[in-house]
Amino acid sequence: MHKPVLRFNGDGHFRILMVSDFHIGNPEKLRQANKPDHNAKLIDGLYALIKETKPDFVMVGGDQCLDVETEKEAQDLFGKIMNPVIENKIPWAAVFGNHDNEVGLSVKDEEKVYEKMPYCLNKTDCESLSGAGNFCLNIMSNSSDKTAFNLFALDSHREITDFIDEFDLRKGTKLILPEHFNDGQTGATADFEQVMWYYNKSKEFEMRQGKKIPALIFMHIPLPEYLHIVRNPEECGAIGSKRETLGCCELNFGLLAACLQRGDVKGIFFGHEHLCDIQGEYCGITMAQDCALGYNMSCHDDLRGGRVIDIFESGEIQTHAVKLIDIMGIKAMRRPDYFEGGCKYYIRKL
């Protein structure tokens, strides 16, 4: 299947729309349980975001949650959800979230489904890496076939407790202690081998082109250092909303330190929390979440949406959250007769 090439526009601009946390589930099971199937609203919302933002590329940020048993079912269901992207012939890719490891196919099998879908750029860059959906996409210069920007995708896995088996630790090892570093949540993160893969891949590009290639990283669960932005809003120029606890990993595998040492990463973007869209800058790297787009789980009507990331061939980036309610009005609400959200937990209005 022909794969589209990512390339900067004539004005040196490239726009990414990031959307996360679809939580699609299984439409048939929802109907049998007499629960509403909100996939129609999810699709309408994705159409609205695309029309409003006009992206060159769409990144799906994890927790698609395709609760189906076969690759054919997964392709049919996700093809239906992604139709607004595919119909508009927009290249796209996806990373996996913690709940993708808990329902339906294994993430490795689901990755195979994505790789076969129209306009999807998912690939497997290194078979030996843990998880699935670890890859690097290149955005080409407008004026040549040289790489001008890299997009790294990393699997942040399921939960920190899974590392007990992976690292052959003693059963019952407490990875989350009463006096925790972060917020004491069970979130996992990209492991050391994935960090080294990014580091070496970054060095390869520099050696090949004689200069560092600016980059972004996409993953589902936020890095521990993201909490510096959330807890120090003035110092980090933070804007946005935080209406729930952040699920960062208590173990730190050094991804941010690797990015700082390489000096190429301009931004790291996450999904995971449905009620947080904080963005800010720490050590010169922008970090941000995009809230959620789905309707089958917790989300506030005034936060549901995505995130636009504008990148420039000069190496600069800009980002802002985009909300469905600002585009669609009352149609964006889960229930038009009942407004969910509106908590006054804003750090600074966007």
Cα-to-chain-centroid distance, residue 132 = 14
Does 228 have pLDDT greater than 60?
yes
* Number of domains present in the structure of the chain: 1
Does the residue 5 lie in any domain? no
Does the residue 2 lie in any domain? no
pLDDT digits (tens, 9 = 90+) for 287-344: 999 999 999 888 999 999 999 999 999 999 999 999 999 999 999 998 888 888 875 4
pLDDT digits (tens, 9 = 90+) for 71-120: 999 999 999 999 999 999 999 999 999 999 899 999 999 999 999 999 99
Does the residue 25 lie in any domain? yes
Q: What is the CATH number of the domain that holds 206?
A: 3.60.21.10
Element spanning 312, H or E: strand 305-312
Main-chain dihedrals φ then ψ at residue 317, nearest 5 degrees: -135, 155
Exposure string for 163-184, b = 16+ CB within 10 A, e = fewer: bbeeeeeeeeeebbeeeeebbe
Cα pseudo-dihedral 245, 249, 252, 253, rounded to 10: -140
- Which domain covers residue 338, as residue numbers? 13-348
The overall average pLDDT reported for the chain is 93
pLDDT digits (tens, 9 = 90+) for 111-155: 999 999 999 999 999 999 999 999 999 999 999 999 999 999 999
Q: How far apart are CA 189 and CA 251, in angstroms?
A: 8
Does the residue 234 lie in any domain? yes
User: Can you tell me which residue has the tokens 């970090």?
Assistant: 287
Q: How far apart are CA 250 and CA 287, in angstroms?
A: 18
Q: 349: pLDDT confidence band, cut at 50, 70 and 90?
A: very low
Does the residue 4 lie in any domain? no
> Nearest-CA neighbor of 43 among 93, 6, 78, 14?
78
pLDDT at 347: 38
- Confidence (pTM): 0.95
User: Can you tell me which residue has the tokens 């309610």?
Assistant: 325
Does the residue 193 lie in any domain? yes
Does the residue 3 lie in any domain? no
Does the residue 8 lie in any domain? no
Does 173 have pLDDT greater than 80?
yes
